[in-house]
Structure 1
Amino acid sequence: MALKKYNPITNGQRHRITLLKTELSKSKPVKQLTMGLTKKSGRNNFGRITSLNKGGGHKRKYRFIDFKRQLYNDKATVMSLEYDPNRSAHIALIQYESGALSYILAPENLKVGDKVESIFKIDSNSINIDHSSHIGTSLPLFLVPKGTIIHNIELKPGKGGQLARSAGTFGKLIEKYKNGYASVELNSGTIRLIPLHSIVTLGSVSNKEHENIVYGKAGAKRWLNVKPHVRGVAMNPIDHPHGGGEGKSKGRPSVSKWGKITKGKKTRNNKLTNKYIVKRRK
């Protein structure tokens, strides 16, 4: 997807870069596949802020995304590619041969009119067919050839995709083992063991240019429900550990408002995930 730059007629547009959405449908989302979202603005039912730096934002409708891909065991046609305000990736509206409609994560290079397939009931025909080139097709991991790029990866069979769901992300199948697991390398560099019966989708997630967006002004972030973040060094000592001092001075390692180290400290919970991580990211 191409990038759009603006003429520098205002300070907000001087460095602003957005994405051209010419490939996406301009029609409204399917009504039966959406629901309204209530604004929370980072506050609880007492009006107290529980999530910092959230506030404002346009009204949104939530699109129900089929992360499991186990509703219909037949082929579907891509009806349209749409923008989803709730995620960085684009979504695709597909229609199965039975007439049912569904939203899925749109893979890269998927086009209107393409055929995608959901394979979760295994038979002799499914095993003998090579599905490695069918972008958008979902199938169990043991049917995927080694070296294939995949996304929307299940951690537990039947739970729905949890890994590689944001814009431009993917995993690469490295090896299959006899103990019922396969090693998948994520684009973060982490190699993780995934059950062979987990459902995955072929291809990488769309909208990989999302990382090149430059919002250009604070108002563009407020449209996305992001409030300004005040630096700790600009506060008084009573408000933040970095506050106070003459001039720009911090005097200690970077910490949060409550004194927790913010740079370099590992936050992964190893109690549940350690045995499934073969190689950690550097």
Structure 2
Amino acid sequence: MKTNKQIFLTQPLKSQTKDWNTSTGRNHKGRITAWHRGGGHARLYRKIDLKRKLTQGIVVGLEYDPNRSAFLARVFNPDTNKHNYIIAPTDIQKGDVIRSNSKRNGLQNGHSKALGHILTGSLIYNLSLSPGKDGKILRAPGAFGKILKRTKTLAKVRLKSGHYRWFDIRTMATNGIVSNAESRFTKLRKAGQSRWLGRRPTVRGVAMNPIDHPHGGGEGKTSGGRPSATPWGKPTKGPSTRRYRTQPKPNVKI
């Protein structure tokens, strides 16, 4: 996404920010459960309207968010004199009008609507799992879903992963594609930049001693000498470990 730097804002809103203590990968007992996390630059958390039921107004500009890869759009409501943050879609410009819970049919970029008011074939993002909840899926940079068909009560959406899911037509979503789609092509300039992001080094098992990892030890360079395993000896290559819950088929009324 090629963005105009002139629409970017440098200072966040004090009323919409709060302190944010990043996790170091430890649980309530102080033991590391998620490795390679810790350190990093101090961050402020921006309060984002993910329900998209009340935020409407004029786009003041875009902002960088250190807690996510997508950009944020700051929206000013002249009726209430309040600012709000939303996840910015692509091709949004300063001065664009943003509406929430809109009931107009069409392809208004950045407008949030219930699935029942979005045209079939439209691209959407910031989709909630059930009516009245925060948007949980399709929030990564460049993410979007597509509405394939609708019934009186349900809408079938193709997600970015290629999966198909049925959602209640009262579920809220936003027209468009999440901004900063080219973030995955960003290359870090030096190792310290990874530490700024809170990522700690990753050490290969074959570079360790045998007391530290099953792949460790040996004379010279070795490839482990055994099937791939975790530091605790659990096999890491094999069948999928993902659990698929069997969901009852929806009662589709056409």
Tell me the TM-score normalised to structure 2 length: 0.88
SS of the residue corresponding to residue 15 of structure 2 reads: helix
1:224 paired to 2:197: yes
Distance, in Å, in 2 between the alignment partners of 1:276 and 1:151 is 24
User: Residue type of the partner of 1:216?
Assistant: R
Residue 234 of structure 1: aligned partner:
207
SS of the residue corresponding to residue 5 of structure 2 reads: coil
* Compared CA separation, residues 254 and 190, structure 1 to 2 (3 A): farther
- Which residue of 154, 158, 161 corresponds with 2:132? 158
Which structure 2 segments of 5+ residues have no match?
none
1:149 paired to 2:119: no
* Compared CA separation, residues 195 and 257, structure 1 to 2 (3 A): farther
- How many aligned residue pairs are there? 248
1:111 paired to 2:111: no
SS of the residue corresponding to residue 167 of structure 1 reads: coil
* Compared CA separation, residues 263 and 153, structure 1 to 2 (3 A): farther
Q: Is the 8 A contact 2:7 2:94 kept in 1?
A: no
Distance, in Å, in 1 between the alignment partners of 2:198 and 2:87 is 23
Residue 76 of structure 2: aligned partner:
95
1:212 paired to 2:185: yes
Q: 1:130, CA displacement in angstroms?
A: 2.1
Residue 9 of structure 1: aligned partner:
none
1:56 paired to 2:39: yes
Distance, in Å, in 1 between the alignment partners of 2:69 and 2:199 is 15
Q: Is the 8 A contact 2:154 2:168 kept in 1?
A: yes
- The 5 Å alignment of 1:114-133 reads 114-119=96-101, 126=103, 129-131=104-106, 133=107
Residue 189 of structure 1: aligned partner:
162
Distance, in Å, in 1 between the alignment partners of 2:117 and 2:161 is 24
1:86 paired to 2:67: yes
Distance, in Å, in 2 between the alignment partners of 1:262 and 1:275 is 32
User: Residue type of the partner of 1:103?
Assistant: Y
User: Residue type of the partner of 1:70?
Assistant: K
Greater shift in the superposed pair: 100-109 or 245-254: 245-254
1:173 paired to 2:147: yes
* Compared CA separation, residues 40 and 245, structure 1 to 2 (3 A): same
Residue 30 of structure 1: aligned partner:
13
Residue deviations 1:33-67 (CA, integer Å, cap 9, x gap): 00011244334566543321012211100000110
Please report the RMSD computed on the Cα atoms of aligned residues, expressed in angstroms.
Answer: 2.3
Q: Is the 8 A contact 2:9 2:62 kept in 1?
A: no
Q: Is the 8 A contact 2:7 2:93 kept in 1?
A: no
Distance, in Å, in 2 between the alignment partners of 1:177 and 1:256 is 47
Q: Is the 8 A contact 1:167 1:208 kept in 2?
A: yes
Residue 202 of structure 1: aligned partner:
175
* Compared CA separation, residues 264 and 142, structure 1 to 2 (3 A): farther
Q: 1:78, CA displacement in angstroms?
A: 0.6
SS of the residue corresponding to residue 221 of structure 1 reads: helix
* Compared CA separation, residues 91 and 262, structure 1 to 2 (3 A): farther
- Which residue of 108, 116, 127 corresponds with 1:134? 108
